[in-house]
Amino acid sequence: MIIKILGSAAGGGFPQWNCNCRNCTAVRTGVPGFRARTQSSLAISRDGINWVLLNASPDLRQQINDTPELHAKPEFGMRHSPIKAAVLTNGDVDHIIGLINLREAQPFSVYASDRVLATINANSVFQVLAEQHVPRIEMKLNEPFALTGAGVDLGLTVEAFAVPGKVALYLEDTSSDNFGSKDGDTIGLKITDTVEKKSFFYIPGCAQVDEKLAARLKDAPVVFFDGTLFTDNEMLDQGLMPKTGARMGHISMSGEDGSIAAFSGLNVGRLVYVHINNSNPALDENSEARKTIEAAGCEVGYDGMEVRL
């Protein structure tokens, strides 16, 4: 199984278009140790021919152009795409808007929870993806299913499961507990190669590694995990936004309640951070934050990174 990080940044990308924080300024001016990043998404394939997107970021057109495996192949005719399916982990703008790049009557399947599908179905702009070409398929939680798309069995199974988090910002109900969030608003995915029986986990958004999630991830060979913030208050401290990571539904990397500590006893083969916010000091490859992450045996993912299982 081939796993490629198409985009490793959180919403807004890196540099963020309207941000003059230290990190964004550094990457714009070419400071060594900083690299630009597009918004969060993976691409996976069993055979290197047919591909599945895990989330569809607003930067998807650029990501396709930057990834030769996703290019249209002339031997298949005037119109072709290796992308046969897209699996969505939540309704965040930075995970669903990229679907609109895939219009032009190209067949593929969209998989999402009932809550995310309801959001897509309620927005008429997504009608550019005509359902006779792009079926929308509900993922039931904790029920593995085979991925198919455009008439192709992709040789992969997916199991979706709820993780601690919250509903997308634009869907928040401030009058309800946890802003109206319900199971299925934020999910993780277990992807398994049906031939090799190898699997990995993808969890780009998560508020806490609770006992249930820790038990699920124990001894996993590879986990791609939420790396939004290094510290809970970093956006407040930098004057970027009056919100903590916890308020946004994201666990921090550091601290006794952070993800580095949470994963320390889980015997995960590789922990790769994705969905990294522009405020995160770990984006500086020479920072103390990056040294802390690497000393713990974790990795900071980057656009174009490839992992094979």
**E strand map for the chain:** 2-7, 41-45, 51-54, 83-87, 109-112, 136-138, 145-149, 152-162, 187-193, 199-203, 222-226, 270-274, 299-300, 306-308
Share in percent of the chain as helix, strand, coil (round to 5): 25, 25, 50
**What is the mean predicted confidence (pLDDT) over 83-102?**
96
Share of the chain above pLDDT 70, in %: 94
What strands, in cross-sheet order, belong to the sheet with 222-226? Answer: 145-149, 152-162, 187-193, 199-203, 222-226, 270-274, 299-300
- Find out whether 38 and 60 touch, Cβ atoms under 8 Å: no
- Find out whether 277 and 228 touch, Cβ atoms under 8 Å: yes
Can you give the pLDDT at residue 176? 56
Can you give the pLDDT at residue 247? 79
Can you give the pLDDT at residue 185? 80
Pairing of strands 2-7, 306-308: antiparallel
pLDDT at 90 over 60: yes
- Find out whether 260 and 266 touch, Cβ atoms under 8 Å: no
**What is the mean predicted confidence (pLDDT) over 136-161?**
97
pLDDT at 245 over 80: no
**What is the mean predicted confidence (pLDDT) over 214-241?**
96
> What is the rounded CA–CA span in Å between residue 22 and residue 233?
16
